[in-house]
């Protein structure tokens, strides 16, 4: 009886509970969107890893984030070539440059040197093989399609990097940096443009492709145990990407500030939800008192309120989910870093639903010792 009665009250008094439902939806959207923006921004520092097809990354020991790599001895590559379980080994260079666009203006850029062969694994997800081959032309570079205006240069036009002429031959996808601009070139072009990396044969990372997934752990363990392994460190792609996200999320000032803002947004949304729902339940106190006067026990009355709060929370979360998906689509259309994860959505749903249930119970607690006869006067 309690559950059908709870639904009947909700249907009949929907106007009273509509603000609470909208509040739940707003709170859910606020948590999800804020969290997705946070993850999207910090994940931009792991793009070199997530946009590549390598299984293992070999770099400087103690590297905190993929974009903070340092030079390693090129002799390390011999150990990779000698392992028959590794099908492909590539170098990846990270350098710096000063860009002067075709239409004037300038900005600092990050140079990313990759193997330009069409079947290369470095940044393989950020460009198609035909576009990748264009980098074989000396002085050819690629930039993210969203950065063309910032660089004041169009496809086919020439620009300058550190005083050297380059030509933009195409664009990459999903390689937009968090604060700067990524410029992709071949290994030879990257060394020509940045004197700091042209002075030696050192590389920033070696990328290894292991065709059999079951061999990745074994290759990782083998390379870590060889003599001289103190001069480099090995990560799986997932490990290095996670390391980069955690560093910028928890150790950088920008990441901590954004986390703080996200927590504040969650608290504000939770407070609004609890207060609105408590007001909606409290407005029905007279009806609940009538039920008590008719002999409905307090535990049964509590079931009604829990059911109502649950329905309000569920409907509000459904509305919030739709709005969050629309926000994700809008962010994608505008190339805004927005990473919507199922775990984050489940966490937000659990928080909001728990708040809805607790708010309903808090609004009802003063009925426990109340006199129904006095409330019905």
Does 208 share its domain with 242? yes
| Residue 94 pLDDT class (50, 70, 90 cuts) | very high
pLDDT tens, residue by residue, 299-320: 777 777 777 778 888 888 889 8
Alpha-carbon gap, residue 108 to 299, rounded angstroms: 66
pLDDT tens, residue by residue, 52-80: 999 999 999 999 999 899 999 888 888 89
Last residue of a domain, one of 215, 233, 251: 251
pLDDT tens, residue by residue, 165-208: 999 999 998 898 876 899 999 999 999 999 888 766 789 999 99
Alpha-carbon gap, residue 4 to 6, rounded angstroms: 5
What CA–CA distances, in Å, run from 239 to 234, 248, 254? Answer: 9, 14, 22
* 33 alpha carbon, distance to own chain's centre: 11
**Token output for 142:** 């690629």
End-to-end, the C-alpha distance of the chain in Å comes to 26
Range 342-350 average pLDDT: 83
Total number of domains constituting the chain = 2
Is the distance from CB of 113 to CB of 190 less than 8 angstroms? Answer: yes
Predicted TM-score (pTM) of the model is 0.77
Last residue of a domain, one of 192, 223, 251: 251
In this predicted structure, the answer to whether residue 285 has a pLDDT above a threshold of 80 is no
In this predicted structure, the answer to whether residue 144 has a pLDDT above a threshold of 80 is yes
Last residue of a domain, one of 228, 251, 274: 251
Does 110 share its domain with 93? yes
Domain hosting residue 289, numbered range? 2-43+253-375
**pLDDT attached to residue 1:** 46
Range 217-242 average pLDDT: 87
Does 124 share its domain with 219? yes
What is the dihedral angle through the alpha carbons of 280, 4, 269, 318, rounded to the nearest 10 degrees? -140
Please report which helix (H) or strand (E) contains residue 270, including its range. helix 253-282
Does 174 share its domain with 54? yes
In this predicted structure, the answer to whether residue 234 has a pLDDT above a threshold of 90 is yes
What CA–CA distances, in Å, run from 280 to 31, 61, 285, 299, 360? Answer: 22, 58, 9, 20, 9
| Residue 220 pLDDT class (50, 70, 90 cuts) | very high
Does 65 share its domain with 37? no
In this predicted structure, the answer to whether residue 160 has a pLDDT above a threshold of 70 is yes
**pLDDT attached to residue 162:** 93
Alpha-carbon gap, residue 7 to 311, rounded angstroms: 8
DSSP β-bridge partners for residue 89? 208
User: Measuring CA to CA, which residue among 240, 338, 366 is closest to residue 41?
Assistant: 338
Looking at the chain, how many residues does it have?
377
Does 99 share its domain with 232? yes
């Amino acid at each position: 009886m309690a559950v059908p009665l709870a639904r009947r009250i909700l249907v009949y008094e929907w106007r009273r509970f509509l603000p609470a439902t909208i509040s739940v939806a707003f709170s859910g959207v606020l948590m999800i969107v804020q969290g997705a923006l946070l993850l999207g921004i910090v994940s931009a520092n792991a793009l070199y890893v997530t946009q590549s097809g390598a299984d293992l990354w070999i770099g400087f020991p103690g590297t905190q984030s993929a974009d903070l790599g340092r030079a390693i001895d090129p002799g390390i590559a011999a150990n990779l070539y000698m392992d028959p379980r590794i099908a492909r080994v590539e170098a990846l260079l990270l350098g710096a440059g000063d860009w002067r666009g075709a239409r004037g203006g300038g900005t600092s850029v990050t140079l990313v040197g990759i193997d330009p062969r069409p079947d290369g694994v470095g940044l393989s997800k950020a460009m198609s093989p035909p576009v990748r081959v264009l980098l074989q032309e000396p002085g050819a570079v690629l930039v993210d399609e969203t950065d063309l205006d910032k660089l004041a240069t169009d496809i086919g036009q020439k620009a300058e990097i550190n005083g050297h002429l380059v030509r933009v031959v195409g664009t990459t996808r999903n390689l937009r940096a968090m604060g700067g601009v990524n410029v992709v070139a071949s290994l030879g072009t990257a060394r020509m443009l940045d004197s700091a990396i042209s002075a030696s044969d050192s590389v920033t990372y070696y990328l290894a492709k292991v065709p059999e997934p079951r061999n990745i752990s074994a290759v990782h363990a083998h390379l870590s145990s060889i003599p001289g392994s103190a001069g480099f460190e090995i990560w799986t792609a997932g490990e290095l990407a996670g390391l980069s996200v955690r560093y910028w999320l928890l150790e950088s000032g920008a990441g901590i500030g954004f986390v703080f803002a996200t927590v504040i947004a969650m608290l504000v949304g939770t407070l609004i939800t609890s207060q609105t729902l408590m007001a909606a339940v409290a407005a029905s106190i007279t009806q609940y008192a009538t039920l008590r006067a008719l002999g409905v026990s307090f535990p049964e009355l509590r079931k009604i309120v829990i059911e109502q709060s649950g329905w309000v929370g569920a409907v509000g979360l459904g509305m919030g989910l739709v709005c969050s998906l629309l926000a994700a689509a809008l962010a994608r259309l505008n190339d805004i870093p927005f990473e919507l994860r199922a775990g984050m959505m489940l966490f937000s749903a659990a928080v909001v639903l728990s708040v809805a249930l607790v708010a309903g119970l808090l609004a009802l607690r003063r009925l426990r010792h109340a006199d129904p006869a006095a409330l019905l006067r």
